Structure 1
Amino acid sequence: MSDLTIWIIIVLLGIGTYLIRWSFLGALGNRPMPAWVLRMLRYTPVAVLPALVAPLVMWPQATGGEPDVARLAAAAATLGVGVLTKSVIWAILAGGCTLFGLLYLI
């Protein structure tokens, strides 16, 4: 591809990204949203975060795509501490300590 084609693609993708974000922030930013929309938006992080984390736990690139005990235990510790304490900070600390501790031991 020529340099001009690449720059046209970059500019068009930038404009498209801007318009997608503007549609929510600019067009709807000053208007109150219905209660059902706000209720559904509360579940967005809960739906997105597991989708981002699950492949890193089940098919980590560091092990060639094979699940290992350290990452599965760290995920279980994170989930367990998060459910028990309802604290994101403690859950992250528990998962991180479990992961690094098991990677050190194994």
Structure 2
Amino acid sequence: MSFDARIWVVILTVGLGTYLIRWSFLGALGRRAIPAWATRALRYTAVGVLPAILAPLTLWPAATGGQPDPARLVAAAVTVLVGLVTRNVLSAILSGMASLFAMLWLLG
């Protein structure tokens, strides 16, 4: 089997696997009521996953070779503060972007 064919086999297998995982929740369990304890636990999924994804990208960014960067730390702090004060996701994102670009420009 050639290298190109192996790549396509892997892509199709992974695609089928992710489809089946999603179908198991939506297709097989979609018409059943979710227990109250599971509904309460699922509310905290985003709150638990997003910090786990964003913390390493902020503290050890690949752009700096894994070294903490003051510009990114300031941008993260500004984003969190604006988000807490305004309760507006778009303004938090835009202020974080602006502060990152400003700090990168100031620090060179």
Q: Do both share a fold (TM > 0.5)?
A: yes
Identity of aligned residues (%): 60
Structure 2 unmatched runs, 5+: none
Question: What's 2:19 paired with?
Answer: 18
Residue by residue, what CA displacement relative to the aligned partner does 1:2-45 show, whole Å, maximum 9, x if unpaired? 44554444333232221111100101112221222111111111
Q: Following the alignment from structure 2 to structure 1, what is the Cα–Cα distance between the partners of residues 66 and 88? A: 30
Q: What CA distance in whole angstroms lies between the structure 2 residues aligned with 1:10 and 1:105?
A: 43
Q: Which residue of 1 aligns with 2:49?
A: 48
Deviations 1:57-87 (A, max 9, x none): 1111111111111100011111111112221
Name the aligned partner's letter for residue 19 of structure 1.
Answer: L
For these two proteins, the number of residue pairs brought into alignment is 106
Tell me the SS of whatever aligns to 1:26: helix
Out of 3-12 and 55-64, give the one that drifted further.
3-12
What CA distance in whole angstroms lies between the structure 2 residues aligned with 1:7 and 1:85?
47
Unaligned residue ranges in structure 1 (runs of 5+): none
Please list every run of at least 4 consecutive aligned residues from structure 1 whose deviation after the TM superposition is greater than 2 angstroms. 1-15
Which residue of the partner structure matches residue 90 of structure 2? 89
Partner Cα separation in structure 2 for residue 100 and residue 93 of structure 1: 11
SS state of the match for residue 13, structure 2?
Answer: helix
Pairing of 1:49-88 with structure 2 (within 5 A): 49-88=50-89
Aligned counterpart, 1:38: 39
Supply the RMSD in Å over aligned alpha carbons: 1.7
